[in-house]
């Protein structure tokens, strides 16, 4: 095959590919509020959710963030996003259960936290809600999954919700429109490297 034939073959192939891609884009013509779940053991769940926060702010959208497990108070995302006027930032957890060591208090904190989330889920002026680490209070049974699913279903039709955390239940994934499971192929922590600013916190 000479150079001209090669060029022509490439152009034909790309034209066919473009037709397929254009058709699938034309098919996906609905607009609606999405429920996304970012789960799995790999790194990138919360940071992906905060990437969507940045995107939303770029479109002048209003954002609500609720952090259910307060692992640490010195994260870059909190320092940056909490001071943006279009972001409401709620810290609704008090730390991992092995830190608080008080079950009744953990349950009460989770329930109080969900009441705050319910307020956001009833507020059509909030375009995107991040429920960071919500999977844990669900997994521990501190929050009723049915209540969560009902409240999510009843939210304003154009409101997006992103849920992060390991071990998302099947029911939560079934209810979601987009589910990503991040795989832990390798993590620097296991090579003895501590959490690094700008990457891990």
Return the number of the residue (57 or 130) whose C-beta is nearest Mg ion: 130
Stretch that binds Mg ion, among 9-17, 39-47, 78-86, 168-176 (CB under 5 A): 39-47
Stretch that binds ligand ATP, among 36-44, 100-108, 114-122, 144-152 (CB under 6 A): 36-44
Question: How many residues belong to the site for Mg ion (CB under 5 A)?
Answer: 2
Whose tokens are 């209003």? That residue is 62
Return the number of the residue (154 or 195) whose C-beta is nearest ligand ATP: 195
**HSE (CB half, 13 Å, CA atoms) of 107?**
6
C-alpha angle 28/32/37, rounded to 5°? 95
Stretch that binds Mg ion, among 46-54, 139-147, 154-162, 173-181 (CB under 5 A): 46-54
Closest CA to 53 of 64, 43, 42, 44: 64
Distance CA 112, CA 115 (A): 5
Instruction: Give bridge partners of residue 178 from the DSSP assignment.
Output: 36
* Residue 190: DSSP 8-state: G
Site for ligand ATP, rule CB under 6 A: 41-47, 164, 166, 184, 187, 189, 195, 200-201
Site for Mg ion, rule CB under 5 A: 45-46
């Amino acid at each position: 095959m000479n150079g001209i034939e090669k060029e022509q073959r490439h152009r034909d192939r790309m034209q066919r590919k473009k037709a397929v891609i254009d058709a699938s884009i034309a098919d996906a013509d609905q607009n609606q509020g999405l429920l996304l779940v970012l789960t799995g053991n790999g790194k990138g769940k919360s940071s992906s959710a905060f990437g969507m926060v940045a995107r939303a702010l770029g479109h002048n959208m209003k954002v609500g963030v609720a952090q259910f497990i307060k692992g640490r108070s010195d994260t870059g995302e909190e320092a940056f996003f909490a001071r943006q006027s279009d972001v409401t930032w709620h810290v609704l957890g008090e730390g991992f259960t092995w830190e608080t060591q008080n079950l009744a208090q953990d349950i009460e904190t989770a329930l109080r936290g969900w009441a705050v989330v319910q307020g956001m889920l009833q507020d059509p002026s909030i375009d995107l809600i991040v429920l960071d680490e919500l999977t844990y209070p669900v997994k521990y049974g501190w929050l009723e999954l049915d209540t969560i699913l009902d409240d999510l279903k009843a939210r304003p039709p154009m409101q997006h919700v992103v849920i992060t955390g390991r071990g998302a239940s099947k029911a939560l994934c079934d209810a979601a429109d987009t589910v990503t499971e991040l795989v832990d192929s390798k993590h620097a922590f296991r090579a003895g490297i501590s959490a690094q600013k700008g990457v891990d916190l």
